[in-house]
Structure 1
């Protein structure tokens, strides 16, 4: 991953490129469909907008270290990718694979996260549609 960052601005670990995936088929399907919806609505250039597994060139990340981007749970990653797209940063995806948990269970509430992420997506869509005066 470190060698690849020299040729791009951002590297995103993706479950939805060749070689990536998830062991849990049901979660994989739900996540894949939701990621496709996010990609379609926001016109994002990546297939996995929720992985949160990424590497930035430091010079490209510094201007994005803002509290309006890095807030929330995993929805920060949607805002980060959206802002990177607006700045025309070069993004490359590499495969990651999520195995099933060996111990414990997720503390995340699926419906609550879905609502939170959907609000973020709609907020970004609105902000992109509204023309801001310079």
Structure 2
């Protein structure tokens, strides 16, 4: 068992899942992988189950009954990890938008650096590192992060990033039952609560490359949640039971 777990949520990722799993296991650092699949009708879970024979005690699968949102998938994965002895838990997309070669850098920022949380940042120091997005989507993402930073005052350039390493103690401190958002705002809320708990968050510059295979899960409702939900989150701050 590795001390570090990579959580990969999936819904219809049959084109990518085998390749991303093998790429993670091909890194110099040993990582375990947990795939949280939301009942993908394309057979993503079946592919993972076959690979579990090749990677016993390193590759794990949790199958959920429905498509209930990215945030709830990660919460499910976090709880699974905390019920075991993992010290570092990493969020990662299945579609290669997050480069597996950057996993070690995120891990190092927490394990040998002084970070409690490390964020794979597309916009560190206002430098844009995004490949293959159209200008509309790029501007929406970039200014959404600026908007969140302005509203919440959280000192991060990429508040909506989904490539994140958490130390165990951070996830143990945050009350996961109190996380309200399920889409991109989930990423904002988790970082906001970690920051309000005074954990140290480090940004690591990465290049984000849009998927070549499969279909994006971004929707208008997810964007609205991220843009308007942060105001409510800021006003509410941390609840008494955190």
Report the TM-score, using the length of structure 2 for normalisation. Answer: 0.49
Aligned to 1:119: 228
Instruction: Indicate if the aligned counterparts of 1:21 and 1:98 stay in contact, CA closer than 8 A.
Output: yes
Q: Does the Cα contact within 8 Å between 1:20 and 1:95 map onto a contact in 2?
A: no
How far apart, in 1, do the equivalents of 2:205 and 2:157 lie? 11
Relative contact order (alpha carbons < 8 A, sep ≥ 6): 1 or 2 greater? 1
List gaps (5 residues or longer) in structure 2. 1-105
Q: List 4+ stretches of structure 1 deviating above 4 A.
A: none
- Residues 1:22 and 2:130 aligned together: yes
Give the TM-score normalised by structure 1.
Answer: 0.83
Please, which moves more after superposition, 86-95 or 54-63? 54-63
- TM-superposed deviation, 1:83: 0.8
Alpha-carbon distance change, 67 to 42 in structure 1, aligned in 2, over 3 angstroms: same
Question: 1:89 matched to which residue of 2?
Answer: 199
RMSD, matched Cα: 2.4
Over 3 Å counting, the alpha-carbon distance change for 1:70 and 1:59 in structure 2 is farther
8 Å Cα contact 2:145/2:158 also seen in 1 = yes
Identify unmatched segments of 5+ residues in structure 1. none
Which of 91, 108, 111 is equivalent to 1:3? 108
Q: Structure 1 pair 20/92, CA: closer, same or farther in 2 (3 Å)?
A: farther
What's 1:64 paired with?
A: 174
